[in-house]
Amino acid sequence: MIRCGSRLHRFSHTDSSFVRIVVAAPNPEKLKLVKDFGYPMPVFDVAPVPQSTRCFFGAADFQVSEVDLAATKWEPRKLYAHGSYVTTVTLAGSALISGGYDGQLIWWDTAKNQMIRSVEAHQKWIRKAVTSPDGRYVASVADDMVCRVWDAVSGKPVHELKGHAPQTPQHFGSMLYAVTYSADGKYLATGDKVGHIVIWDATTGKSVTTLEAPVMYTWDPKARLHSIGGIRSLAFSPDGKRLAVGGMGKVGNIDHLEGKARVELFDWQSGQTIAQQEHDGQKGLVNRLAFAPDGSWLAAAGGGTQGFFYFLNSDAKKILKDEKAPMHVHEFSLSPSGEEFVLVGHNRIAQYKLG
């Protein structure tokens, strides 16, 4: 252990390739809402600009917008449009990549404020795109049930990862909601509607293993004859050994998002389940999960008719902090230090800080 002033530092991850020094994450007990902004439409994703107070976000107005959260006046600026809801935004260097239900991935030069390219990336709705930790690749998932890996600079396809069934067991179209990179960039995880998870070797594009979280999917065969749920969020622990999976527990009345917020934690290499945590006080989908930089907690956010934002301990068995969010949360960004969150969701954007 190394002490540095008042903050605890430690070696959090070692292997033959690199050593990373991580600052101990702040205590979730110190969570506080800093600012809360209204927006006329649901906001689905946010990408904060490093070392700045600006962020980009995508919303149900089909727009990618930019805003300075520190400005005295809340003035979002619309940058460019998709043909449908903009469900994902991610930065790769100075390029912003956005994706939407129109199936398009659009590269945007944030320095020159001009479009670089638009790619017909998927046949169906794009649910999420993430940039690899080294910034070289972008992985996108969509309801065509394919994860595609793109060169972040050229926009050329690198891998096409196929491991999710296009239909549910009941013969309806499935959906591929979630994708995430491990912190070292070696692995990708994808999760679909019926609770099937695939871990991929990010370099080769080969499937490494699969996991199942079937409780996340509710099929009602008798009363309503359709389904609800699905894996909505994934997060690797900073050491890459664990995978957290977010969604919702079994639902009785699938007219509503009334299942308990649910997180499952896997030791993914052994396939063992570490925790299956259902929140007795929060209903709805866990749309976003993120580990603290030092792995000491796991933040979860989402919602149903109301929003939630809570923190679990590192093995996802104990709730450390439980907060009612000002809206159903669709996504949040987490600063590298683990201190700042920007939550986006139903018609609101909220800034939180720890400490």
Partner 1 sequence: MRAKSFCGSVDHAISRRGFLGATVAAGASAFADMTGLDQLGSSALASQMKKNQKRVILLWLAGGASQLETFDPKPGVQTGGPFRAIPTSVPGVHISELMPQMAKRMHKTCIIRGLNTKIGDHLNGAQLMLRGRRNEAGLKYPDIGAVVAREMARLESQVPDHVTFYTQTEGRYYALGDAGFFGARFAPMELTTENRPGNIRRRDGITALDHQQRADLRVLLSQQFAKGRSSSTLGSHNEAYERVRGIMASETLFDVTQEPQKVRDRYGPTQFAEQTLIARRLVEAGVPFVRIGRAWWDCHGQNFETHQEMVPELDHVMATLIDDLHERGLQDDVMVVTLSEFGRTPRINASLGRDHFASAWSMSMTGGGIKGGAVWGKTDPLGNTVSDQEVNAGTLFATLYAALGINPHKNYYVGSRPVPLVDEGIEEIDDLIA
Where along the sequence are the contacts to partner 1 (CB under 8 A)? 40-42, 60-62, 83-85, 101-102, 125, 143, 170-173, 175, 222-228, 254-258, 284, 303-307, 327-328, 346-347
DSSP code at position 73: S
Cβ proximity to partner 1: between 252 and 336 the closer is 252
User: Residue 271 has which token pair?
Assistant: 């396939």
DSSP code at position 167: B
Say how far apart CA 304 and CA 329 lie, in whole Å: 9
State in angstroms the smallest separation of the CB of 150 from partner 1: 22
State in angstroms the smallest separation of the CB of 168 from partner 1: 8
- Please spell the DSSP secondary structure of 281-323, one letter per residue: EEESEEEEEEE-TTSSEEEEEEESSSEEEEEEETTS-SEEEEE
Say how far apart CA 262 and CA 231 lie, in whole Å: 10
Cβ proximity to partner 1: between 299 and 329 the closer is 329
Half-sphere exposure of 281 (CA within 13 A, CB side): 9
State in angstroms the smallest separation of the CB of 101 from partner 1: 4
User: Residue 94 has which token pair?
Assistant: 């100075």
Say how far apart CA 308 and CA 322 lie, in whole Å: 8
Question: Residue 72: helix, strand or coil by DSSP?
Answer: coil
Cβ proximity to partner 1: between 57 and 62 the closer is 62
State in angstroms the smallest separation of the CB of 100 from partner 1: 8
Say how far apart CA 25 and CA 105 lie, in whole Å: 34
Cβ proximity to partner 1: between 13 and 283 the closer is 283
CA torsion sign, 104 to 130 to 71 to 344? positive
State in angstroms the smallest separation of the CB of 127 from partner 1: 11
Calculate ∠ Cα 217-201-25, nearest 5°. 75
Cβ proximity to partner 1: between 257 and 292 the closer is 257
Cβ proximity to partner 1: between 13 and 330 the closer is 330
State in angstroms the smallest separation of the CB of 125 from partner 1: 7
State in angstroms the smallest separation of the CB of 104 from partner 1: 12
C-alpha distances (whole Å) from 204 to each of 19, 200, 301 are 23, 8, 32
Say how far apart CA 56 and CA 344 lie, in whole Å: 11
Q: What are phi and psi of 113, to 5 degrees?
A: 55, 50
State in angstroms the smallest separation of the CB of 170 from partner 1: 8
Cβ proximity to partner 1: between 125 and 150 the closer is 125
Cβ proximity to partner 1: between 102 and 264 the closer is 102
